Chain A
Amino acid sequence: MGRFILRRIGVMLLTALCLTFIVFFLTNLYPNLEKMAKTEGNMRMSDAEVESYLQNNGYLQPTLVKYGQWLGVLPGYVIEGTDGKVRAKCATPEKPVEQAPAFCGVLQGNWGYSNRLKKDVDVVIGEKLALTGILMFWVMLLMVPSALILGVLAGMREGSKLDRTLSTFSIGTTATPEYVSGVLFIAVFASSAVGLKWFKGTATSAMDNITFENFFLPVLTIAVYGMGYIARMTRASMAEVMTSQYIRTARLKGVSFPNIVMKHALRNALIAPFTVIMLQFPWLLNGVVIVETLFNYKGFGWALVLAAGNNDIELLLGISVVSVVVVLVTQLISDIGYVYLNPRISVS
């Protein structure tokens, strides 16, 4: 088990390196840098001005070198600009060029500076992750139990009327992307045109003070899309368990049906959904981006849209590192959990 985890962590690190390099490469393409220079300086900069700006700020070094500097394995640049001023990557207002350390990258704990939000990237990400974490927590709390109940109810009598109804419902939810269900929910439950006005159509106020009224719709919107998939997996797994020999034995022994479902079938039927729930995280991340945009909740997903839309390179890199790590860690947990829960599988 230990070697398996070590190997997986090795692959994870390699994946994270490759992915951040891809993001780095794509955000550092010249047209992107040009756009960034123009938003930083002014929109009417001439090509030569753009070039000298980029040159002075170290953006025109080879991509690999820049990546090394961002990561903190290569010393940060010190460039004497065309205007005679010396700029260094590691210089800060407190530590001017002469005292600046040689290395300042992610490995040294320096995630860079968000040009758009005018804050350090790690501060931004910490704030935004906390907000999104709350959202995710409530989503999981709503989604997982309801999906499992749906799936178990549908799978315990395969082919019954209840199964057909619930399965159709879960297909329906997987066919409703967040931007469709979100808009429908807002229209029905939040606008005075329909007249229900049970909830609020935006979640901006939930950033300070979460109430049922302002937070239920975003949570519901994400949960609905993810629910159907987990429910279907649970159903399939439950249906399979219900046909196995030991369940038949239990029935023949005269155990009552509720007892069979609760005591004999449920535990074994929940192994497969566990993996699926863990693998849902990357999907939830997409849902979070859409829902935060839709409900104007300024969390992690909202920051992703902001950073990508404005080519805020360092913020975007920070966000992609975090999301990639989330995806990979959940994959790892799902693998380990599967082995742990299922006595039939062993890694060695």
Chain B
Amino acid sequence: MDPLSWSGILLQMVQQFAAPLIAVAVTFVVSFVFKRRLGIYGKLFDSVIGMIGLALVLFWVFTAFFAGALDMVGTHDPLDQSAMMKKALPGEPYSKLIGEPDPNAGEHYLLGGDNLGRDVFSRVVDGSIKVMLIAPFATIFAFMVGITLGLPAGYYGGRFDTVLSFLANLVLAFPVILLFYLLVTPEIKETLIPRIMAGTLFIFPIVFLTVLWNSRFRTQASKRNLYVGITLVMGTWVYLGIAWDADPTGIISFPPNLLVVFVSVVFVNSPTVFRIVRGLALDIKTRDYVAAAQTRGEGPWYIMLWEILPNARGPLLVDFCLRIGYTTILLGTLGFFGLGLESESADWGKMIIDGRRLLSANILHIAIPPALALLSLVLGLNFLADGLREESLRD
């Protein structure tokens, strides 16, 4: 079989990405038709930068979804090694020296093989799953921690604020990479530290939701009890499973490798969120509607969560997008230094540093694809944030 030409590779890649591309197109058409009824999301379609950003982000979201849930986009098993394909050039036909080639696998290595003879294209696609699983959720968790602590710090001020701000500055004064090197090592996993950190950080979402429902429906006892009850039962269940690996039903568990990465990423991000939320709360608490709520006799948590927080949503939404991008960069950094992952798994950062060693031998196709993948995702998130900022400033 002949190797593919560059146009053949491009064509085949578009075919492989057909499902996510169609999904992006459908989302765009539907959103465009109904854009006037979609609030801030609809307004995004008035800004070119915002649309480009959204398209890039959606592309990777759908790629990760189709690859992870339906096993569609990649052409080969990302872990399958073939001695014939070591450092193979892009478009080379797939063959194996030892063992039977997988009959379902594609006929070519579209972007060539890496130094162990694995398909670079499938690995890049596979790498997106991990990013999509960790980055958004870690950012949400960091936001919950930052909001739950930042609102009262800004609203009450005083000693509580001083202590928390000191702690936040303490974490921020750490060079991130040093922190990662201390927290994400195989040795640390043998100790209780990741579990204790997870146990502390993951309590905040439960606290946040409980206080949120309680302050809103304080006067409607039945509704309050229902919401708070559901939050507490579900929350404790997930909490025990994720943080302490002690789910009584045994359904929820979290691989310890991933837990360390997840926890340290949340830990690094939450002080910054704390500072932003605190600053916003300090500013918004002087507004008239807050004074009105205070005169009405609303409780402090109601004012914080239902008066201050909704009015801070613009800057927080923008920061949320930026922060997912930053978290993606952090995950890449972890992979770059080989921290916190199984040696085999496809990780963009790890692939970049592996490929870098071969750059001097003029083999570019191993390092460039994951680098461009990471770049396009983070660029998309930053464009999206910029579009959101522009549109939310407009009204």
Whether a CB of chain B sits under 8 angstroms from the CB of A19 is yes
- Cross-chain contact A183 with B367 (CB below 8 angstroms): yes
Q: Which of B173, B177, B182, B386 contacts A15 (CB 8 A)?
A: B173
Residues of A within 8 A of B170 (CB): 15, 18-19
Decide: A186 and B359 in contact? CB cutoff 8 A: yes
| Interface hit among A54-62, A89-97, A208-216, A286-294 | A286-294
A286 with B181, Cβ < 8 A, contacts A175-B325, A305-B337 known = no
Q: Is the interface of B mostly helix, strand, loop or mixed?
A: helix
B187 touches A190 (CB 8 A): no
Decide: B181 and A191 in contact? CB cutoff 8 A: no
Contact indicator A15/B359 (Cβ below 8 Å)? no
A294-B356 in contact (CB<8A): yes
Residues on the A chain within 8 Å of B329, using CB: 177
Q: How far is the CB of B222 from chain A (nearest CB, A)?
A: 47
Assess the B359–A26 pair: CB atoms within 8 A: no
Q: Are A179 and B382 in contact (CB under 8 A)?
A: no
- For the complex, is B169 an interface residue (Cβ under 8 Å from A)? yes
User: How many A-B contacts are there with CB distance less than 8 Å?
Assistant: 139
Is the pair A327, B175 in contact by a Cβ cutoff of 8 Å? Answer: yes
Pair A286/B364 contact, Cβ less than 8 Å: no
Q: A168-B49, A179-B333, A327-B175 are in contact. Are A193 and B362 (CB under 8 A)?
A: yes
Smallest beta-carbon distance A333→chain B, Å: 14
Q: Is B316 an interface residue (CB 8 A)?
A: no
User: Which of A174, A183, A186, A294 neighbours the largest number of chain B CB atoms within 10 Å of its CB?
Assistant: A183
B374 at interface, CB cutoff 8 A: yes
Q: How far is the CB of A271 from chain B (nearest CB, A)?
A: 19
Are the C-beta atoms of A286 and B359 separated by less than 8 Å? no
- Whether the pair B349, A327 counts as a contact (CB closer than 8 A) is no
List the A side residues contacting B193 at CB < 8 Å: 26, 29
- Chain B residue contacts of A171, Cβ below 8 A: 49, 379, 382-383, 386
Chain A proximity of B71: nearest CB distance (Å): 28
B362 lies within 8 A of A327 (CB): no
Contact of B175 among A30, A202, A286 (CB under 8 A): A286
Closest to B359 in A: A186
The docked-state distance in angstroms from the alpha carbon of A29 to that of B382 is 39
Whether A183 pairs with B333 at a CB distance below 8 angstroms is no
Judge if B220 is at the interface, Cβ distance under 8 Å.
Answer: no
B332 close to chain A: CB less than 8 A: yes
Return chain B residues, CB-CB under 8 Å to A190: 359
Interface residues of A in 273-293 (CB under 8 A from B): 282, 285-286, 289-290, 293
Task: Check B169–A176 contact: CB distance below 8 A.
Answer: no
How far is B336's CA from A117's CA once the two chains are assembled, in angstroms? 23
Contact B181 A304 (CB under 8 A): yes
* Residue pair A177, B175 in contact (C-beta under 8 Å): no
Chain B residues lying within 8 Å of A194, measured Cβ to Cβ, are 364
How many angstroms from the CA of A309 to the CA of B177 in the assembled complex? 12
A167 to B49, CA, bound (A): 11
B190 touches A31 (CB 8 A): yes
CB distance from B350 to the nearest CB of A (A): 11
A192 CB contacts on chain B under 8 angstroms: 362
Asked if A27 is at the interface of the complex by the 8 Å CB criterion, the answer is yes
Q: Any chain B CB within 8 A of the CB of A180?
A: yes
Q: Does B286 contact A (CB under 8 A)?
A: no
Contact yes or no, A11 B166, CB < 8 A: yes
B384 to chain A, nearest CB (A): 10
Q: A318 to B360, alpha carbons, bound, how many Å?
A: 34
Choice from B176, B181, B333, B352 contacting A309 with Cβ under 8 Å: B181
- Contact check, B378 vs A175: say whether CB atoms are below 8 A apart: yes
Structural contact, B375 and A180, CB atoms closer than 8 A: yes
A282 to B178, alpha carbons, bound, how many Å? 11
Q: Answer whether residue A324 sits at the interface, using C-beta atoms and an 8 A cutoff.
A: yes
Complex CA–CA separation, A192 to B355 (angstroms): 16
Cβ A179 vs Cβ B362 within 8 A: no
Which residue in B166, B185, B368 is a CB contact (below 8 Å) of A184? B368
Q: A26-B188, A319-B178, A324-B173 known; A177 and B333 CB under 8 Å?
A: yes
Instruction: Write out the residue numbers on chain B whose beta carbons fall within 8 Å of the beta carbon of A184.
Output: 368, 371
Residues of chain B with a CB closer than 8 A to A301's CB: 177
Distance A29 CA – B186 CA, assembled complex (angstroms): 12
Q: Is B129 an interface residue (CB 8 A)?
A: no
A23 CA / B173 CA spacing, docked (Å): 13
Q: Please list the 9 inter-chain residue pairs (A to B) with the smallest Cβ-Cβ separation, ordered nearest first.
A: A308-B181, A31-B187, A175-B379, A175-B378, A193-B362, A26-B182, A175-B382, A177-B329, A31-B190
Which A residues are within 8 Å of any B CB, using their own CB? Answer: 11, 14-15, 18-19, 23, 26-27, 29-32, 34-35, 167-168, 171-172, 174-177, 179-180, 182-184, 186-187, 190-194, 201-202, 282, 285-286, 289-290, 293-294, 301, 304-305, 308-309, 311, 316, 319-320, 323-324, 327-328, 331
Supply 12 A–B pairs (Cβ within 8 Å), ascending by A: A14-B166, A29-B191, A172-B379, A180-B332, A191-B362, A201-B359, A201-B360, A285-B175, A286-B175, A290-B336, A301-B177, A324-B174
Chain B residues with a Cβ under 8 A of chain A? 49, 166, 169-170, 172-178, 181-183, 185, 187-188, 190-191, 193, 325, 329, 332-333, 336-337, 349, 352-353, 355-356, 359-360, 362-364, 367-368, 371, 374-375, 378-379, 381-383, 386
6 extra interchain contacts, Cβ-Cβ under 8 A, other than A177-B333, A201-B359?
A23-B182, A26-B193, A29-B193, A179-B336, A179-B371, A328-B173
